[in-house]
Amino acid sequence: MKLYQTNEIKNIALLGSKGSGKTTLAESMLYECGVIKRRGNVENGNTVSDYFPVEKEYGYSVFSTVFYAEFGGKKLNVIDCPGAEDFVGNAYTALGVSDTGVITVNAEYGVEVGTQNIFRTTAKLKKPVIFALNQVDGEKADFDNVIHQMTETFGPKVTVIQYPLSCGPGFNAMIDVLLMKKYEWGPDGGVPTISEIPADQMDRANELHNALVEAAAENDETLMDKYFEQGHLTEDEMREGIRKGLIDRSIFPVFVVSAKKDMGVRRMMEFLGNVCPFVSDMPAPVNTAGQEVRPDSNGPLSIYFFKTSVEPHIGEVAFFKVMSGKLKAGDDLENVSRGGKERLSQIYTVCGQIRTAVDELEAGDIGAAVKLKDVRTGNTLNEKGCEYQFDFIQYPAPKYIRAVRPVTESDSEKLMTILTRMHEEDPTWIIEQSKELRQTLVKGQGEFHLRTLKWRIENNEKLPIEFSEQKIPYRETITKAARADYRHKKQSGGSGQFGEVHLIIEPYTEGMPEPDTYKFGNQEFKLNVRDKQELPLEWGGKLIVYNCIVGGAIDARFIPAIVKGLMDRMEQGPLTGSYARDVRVMIYDGKMHPVDSNEISFRLAGRHAFSEAFRNANPKILEPIYDVEVLVPGDYMGDVMSDLQSRRAIIMGMESENGIEKLSAKVPLKEMASYSTSLSSITGGRSSFSMSFSSYELVPGDVQEKLLKEYEQTEQDD
């Protein structure tokens, strides 16, 4: 294989909604480049992209697939990403190391929620976008309507490069307004017949051509001046203008393809090779120190690992991008992320599960290594003396959480090892061992996402596991002041235990005045503050403790033990065993014994006094509330809103965003457990949502009663 220079390499992310035909398009691209001799298809499970057992089992893409194509003297590294919303993390990864996004759009369904989400991600990352309007041979394909949708959604920068002479099963010809030629195919697609534009199409072709010329000229003052003077641009000048427009995101070209019939694919690849930005054209990535790092083959060697895959019969395959310098097989590099050294004995270019050994790779290129000693996704490896480190891939927050445990308890350690490894493959599988909930939680993007995880563990690792709903991290607090005292006394021969604590508790809010006088019944308590401790809690909120002891009723050396007793109960609230928060405690009196008093006595006395006071302070349970944003086609808006309201949601607002309805709500976490599945069912998978923690709020009275009874029953069972 030829050694490609940085200015001959283009990195492309192949993106799109589920069902838009990315995998089929990738297959046709590989066929057109001669990488494969026969095109596979998704139905038969023999495509280059979907080769993992789980992908063949479910019939959809789960992992991104890296492949390369040598075309027109250029090297195109392509990362084919799954379209399902559950596997969106792959798109974030691919765009992080790519320079251009090719977004496939289904000509039958037009702009979908998934299309918008992907486009929004490209905008956030400032990546060029090319649209591939696929499936124009579909029964319901409507080119003009979809272009209208795209213009309404993505703005006037959407620019037609090609249009079909007809849509539907009879599609076999299109007009290319960049080259001003007609392309026509036989029933089997492949190599087109190129001819002049028919007379009846010249007016439309000229109109679109002039719009394209104007869009290209707008990106370069010299080209703009020439266009005003001469009224036209040469083909090379248009390509240069379009390339600059792609980099600036001031033009989004639209191509027409039927990936299934291999029509229009070769022409699109010519554009990718001739016009799409090279690695060296794009703004330089920034390392964690804020330095721009140009893809310079003469610079210090630094490579970034963006993906890890465990493949059948091979083991761990680690994919990297050469950020700077020139990588050679056998290089010894330092892992700046984890420490230690790593030898890359062999390096490969990759096409699905086919790996080709190479001697070296230039800056900007993408490759892979196998069976490395200690490299993880997100690690940076450098030559000695280079301190670069990269961390530019930010993943979406999880939306679906389940508790996981092995069927056989003795397999717990083995399960954690497997889960940790699988997180390396897909960083959007997040593993958490929750001390608070006493559960191992696995978090993902949706039910399919975690179902895939379960399938792989049970089928590949032969380890049966069980999913269950996560426990909800409730909080406990109080709503009024209360007083209690408790005497701990124990005598069993020799030194005994004695400690008595009197305290007052009340709800804590920021900025409240210092404690002074309290009245309970006919008794008034005037306090003199001697000392104050402000204890921020790991789980949110605070515990404020005042020492108001006078006359030496309790020695100051026992106050820390009393505070420990208070914290015992803050960590396991009296109502449901949940964390308590936002309480202030005034220790105002007590008793001690010259011989029997010790730290454990006052710790227990403090704990019991606090528990009694807490129960008398009109305690309430708080539940986590999340901000939820749903993107949904207008046809489903009513059903989605009704479903949310059944989940105790408070609707905060509704608005249209580029033809898609956006619904904002505040929803208790308890009600979001199965929302991913429900939303997919209601809208046929055509919606998406995001959620983020908002606040803790009081649960309704009926819910609190239910929680108290459940906890009481659990305590009895234990």
Strand partners, 591: 500
pLDDT at residue number 53? 65
Placement of tokens 């029509």 in the chain: 263
Q: Which amino acid would we find at residue 15?
A: L
Strand partners, 350: 355
Contact between 668 and 647 (Cβ < 8 Å): yes
Contact between 305 and 373 (Cβ < 8 Å): no
3-class DSSP assignment, residue 542: strand
Contact between 185 and 192 (Cβ < 8 Å): yes
Neighbours of 489 (CB within 10 A): 13
pLDDT at residue number 42? 65
Measured torsion, CA atoms of residues 150, 156, 162, 163, in degrees rounded to the nearest 10: 60
Q: Which amino acid would we find at residue 82?
A: P
Q: Which of 628, 627, 667, 675 is nearest to 469 (CA)?
A: 675
Contact between 623 and 669 (Cβ < 8 Å): yes
pLDDT at residue number 223? 81
Domains defined along the chain, listed by start? 6-281 (3.40.50.300), 302-382 (2.40.30.10), 400-471 (3.30.70.870), 479-611 (3.30.230.10), 621-703 (3.30.70.240)
Q: Which of 310, 260, 354 is nearest to 42 (CA)?
A: 260
pLDDT at residue number 168? 92
pLDDT at residue number 51? 60
pLDDT at residue number 549? 94
pLDDT at residue number 520? 94
Please list the rounded mean pLDDT of every run of 10 residues in the chain (718 residues): 90 91 88 79 64 64 84 91 85 92 94 89 93 94 94 93 94 95 91 95 94 86 78 82 93 95 93 92 92 95 92 82 96 93 94 89 96 90 95 87 95 94 88 92 92 90 94 94 95 82 96 93 93 94 95 92 96 90 96 92 96 94 95 89 95 84 94 90 86 93 90 74
Placement of tokens 């607002």 in the chain: 653
Calpha distance 382→363 (Å, rounded): 13
Q: What counts of helices (H) and strands (E) characterise the chain?
A: 16, 38
Calpha distance 680→632 (Å, rounded): 10
Question: Which one-letter DSSP state was computed for residue 672?
Answer: G
Calpha distance 52→59 (Å, rounded): 10
Model pTM greater than 0.85? Answer: no
pLDDT at residue number 263? 95
Calpha distance 713→91 (Å, rounded): 46
